[in-house]
Amino acid sequence: MSTTDRSMMVVALFTDENQAQQAVDALLKAGFDSSQISFAGHGTPRGLLAGLKSFFTGEAMSVGGAYNDLVSKGMSEQDAQYYQQEFDAGRSVVAVSGSDRLQEASTILSSYGGYGASQRGSGYGTSQRAADYDTTQQAVGTEGEQRVRLREEQLQASKQPVETGSVGLHKEVVSEQQSIDVPVTHEEVYIERRPGTGQPSDAPIGDEETYRVPVREEQVTTSKQTMDKGEIAVGKRQVQETKRVTDTVRREEAHVDHQGDVEVRGSETEVEEDQ
């Protein structure tokens, strides 16, 4: 990664334009304005890159190419030549300017594969990571500047469905005794003696006679009919809840060691001085 004082800019190279796009997306999510971010690549920019201004002159590449533009922004001729060669070899350029958060921008660019002139000769751009100690002499008026890159682990969570059990629904036939009251009618025979009139009768006494009176009653028979009582449904639905996960993360902190009578000036409160 390279930084220039004249324009307060950090510049990074990318071998993969998709990684450059991911880095730009991360910068925007971190609060950097799109007007602070420049891009130069090969071919037609797409996605987020299409909305950024060109790194070269802010509009289109100048006649002198990357070399003249970088030198005009305060970069050393040696490093500008390196960026020119990398750009000519097909690399993409992402730059962040006009911000007091250049160290944060440099960290974001590096985390997505961005690299600068300080990694020349290290095989960077293939599969190696940036060195922890990034040394550069590009800042105007700064001699022998060294940088210690600090990193920290951030807790991330991933989700995957896991079967925790099952619910089955079945039916069975249950027999039970059931009683109902049914009104029925039956016939009863009554016999009663009634007095005669006491008058003489001309009818002779006849032969023996037998009278039969049939007796009936209602008898109950049962039958069964199947009725629809309703239904029970079983299914599943998505229920969202929040679960807290806890893990241990690490971060790197910088400490300043004093040896001899050395005066240290700076405003970085994150750096502790070891006495």
Sign of CA dihedral 198, 204, 205, 210: negative
Q: How far is CA 10 from CA 55, 73, 74, 104, 138, in A?
A: 11, 11, 11, 10, 11
Rounded-to-integer distance, Cα 6 and Cα 39, Å: 19
Q: What is the pTM of this model?
A: 0.41
* Spatial contact of 93 and 83, defined as CB atoms under 8 Å apart: yes
Q: Which two tokens stand for residue 210?
A: 């037998």
Task: Encode the chain (275 residues) as per-residue pLDDT tens digits.
Answer: 655 544 578 888 999 888 988 999 999 999 998 888 888 887 776 666 666 666 664 544 333 456 777 777 777 888 888 888 888 888 888 888 876 788 899 899 999 999 987 666 554 443 333 333 333 333 333 445 567 778 888 888 888 888 889 888 889 999 999 999 999 999 999 899 989 888 888 878 878 888 898 999 999 998 999 999 899 888 888 888 898 889 898 988 888 877 777 777 765 444 555 55
Quick one: CA torsion of 220, 221, 224, 225, rounded to 10 degrees?
A: -70
The residue to which tokens 């619910």 are assigned: 167
* Dihedrals phi, psi of 68, to nearest 5 degrees: -65, -40
Q: Find, among 105, 151, 86, 107, the residue nearest to 9 by Cα.
A: 105
